Amino acid sequence: MSELEEEVLAIAAHLNLDPERNLGLDALWPLLEAIRNDGGVVVIKLDGERSPQFGDNGVYTVVLSSGSLFDDFFRRDSDDLRQTLLESIAYYAERAGWND
C-alpha cells in the first residue's frame, strides 16, 4: 500500500468512515461526500474528446473548490482516476485539518 493510500485511510478514520482496505473507487465515495458535506464542490469529468495518443493531459479531470479550500482549489488532469482522487482527497484534508 502506498504512502498516499495510507494517508487517505488515516483521513477516513479521522472522519469516522470505514473504507475498504483496497481503496477502490467505491471506498473513496464517502470521502468525496465528506468534502461535499464540508461545503466543498467536487467535479469529476470524463472527457471522450481527449486521448493520450494525441498528447492530452488525461481523459479524467478532478476539480475541488469551496468549503475548507476557501479561495484555493485543486485541479488535475490524468489518465488514472483513482490516483487523482486519492491526491485530491489528501489535498482537501490537509487544508481542512482532517489529518491532524
Residue 62: per-residue pLDDT: 97
Q: What is the pLDDT of residues 26-81, one digit of tens each?
A: 889 999 999 999 999 999 999 888 876 777 788 999 999 999 999 999 999 999 99
Question: Cell numbers of 56, please?
Answer: 492530452
Residues 6+ away with beta carbon under 8 Å from 54: none
3-state secondary structure of 92: helix
Residue 8: per-residue pLDDT: 87
Q: Is the confidence at residue 4, as pLDDT, over 70?
A: yes
Give me the helices (H) in 1-100, please: 3-14, 25-37, 81-96
